[in-house]
Amino acid sequence: MNATGPLKIGSLAVGSREWMAPMAGVTNLPFRLIARSCGCGMAFTEMVSANGLIRATRKTLHYLDMAPKDRPLGVQIFGSDPQVMAWATRIVTDAGADMVDVNMGCPVKKVVKTGSGAALMKDPARAEAILREVRKATPLPLTVKIRAGWNSQSINAVEIAEIAERCGVDGITVHPRTAVQGYGGSADWTLIARVREAVAVPVIGNGDVRHPADALNMMRRTGCDAVMIGRACLGNPWIFDRINVLRTEGRCPDPPEPEEKMRVIIRHLDLEISAMGEQAGIRSFRKHALWYTKGDRGGAQIRNVAGRLSEKRELLELLRSFYGLERESPP
């Protein structure tokens, strides 16, 4: 494993090994731009319904919002019908994505009950049919995100990874929990290593990376080519740069000071408001305000208040007071 240069995913050279996971209700354009400014090298949209794309629903098409500074960008799609997935892939390709990712890992009930997401882990034939049709539908780099298996009695990540490689995927992300586990228990990193040994395409590890040192431990123990960060970047986008510096320079930068936190918070809120208007932007940002203050002393009390505020000025005043900042931080 060469973890110092760009990572080649098909025809795409990704300059950083620190990737952000697609997260429903979280990885919209404003948050992706914040993550980019903090060292994220590869990001994905929220997972997008293939059926929603072909119906061209307004909400679904909004997931495809892109910006020049939000590159390279992957679009993650989910569905259970090979032809519908191929059709959606063509839409994503025409929309200007840099990469297409097929979701085979979402354990949420409303997704798996349609045969999509992690349900495909227990239907290898359908998974293969989907990947073959999606591969034929786009010249873009193609990746797939998989789980360990459906449950502890059906651990088949290696089998699915080998199928994916035969279908022509250019990279495989492994979250080594079962669908039944959801996000509980522990991620079995040894399974990432087994997939890495079984396939020649790049493997991206995901799961239980909470601190910069965890990312390096995962790469060393599994041989994975990149690390995908999910929940650990919520309220903590600086984790991408901290991992990158630790990986390339052998030192880990300190967590951000209050002034830096406030600078990013202000920019993040402004991006949300710019994207969707003040009221909707503030509603979208509230959960991020809770995450930014999580773990900080007195954060619980602040979170109780922040969730009720509906004006930008009030929200920023509350956060400045929380961080002990008397005046507005520079943008």
Series of mean pLDDT values for 10-residue runs along the chain (331 residues): 80 97 97 98 97 89 95 99 98 98 98 98 99 99 99 98 99 98 96 99 98 98 98 98 97 95 96 95 93 83 78 89 70 49
Per-residue confidence (pLDDT) for residue 203, from 0 to 100 = 99
The structure tokens listed for 104 are: 């085979």
**Residue in the structure block whose two tokens are 């994975």:** 224
CB 275 within 8 A of CB 283: no
Return the pLDDT at 325.
84
Listed in sequence order, the residues at least 6 apart from 40 whose beta carbon sits closer than 8 Å to its beta carbon are 16, 18, 19, 20, 32, 233, 237, 240
pLDDT for the residue numbered 324: 86
The torsion defined by the Cα of 124, 227, 59 and 68, in degrees rounded to 10, comes to: -130
pTM reported for the whole predicted model = 0.94
CB 144 within 8 A of CB 130: no
Q: Are strands 7-9 and 12-14 parallel, antiparallel or unpaired?
A: antiparallel
Distances (CA, A) of 45 to 24, 72, 105, 267, 311: 8, 11, 15, 20, 27
pLDDT for res 3 = 66
Q: What is the pLDDT of residue 151?
A: 97
3-state secondary structure of 216: helix
Q: Catalytic annotation on 106?
A: yes
CATH numbers and ranges of domains, the chain:
7-249 (3.20.20.70), 258-322 (1.10.1200.80)
Q: Do residues 102 and 143 touch, judged by C-beta distance below 8 A? A: yes
Catalytic-labelled residue, pool 106, 167, 224, 233: 106
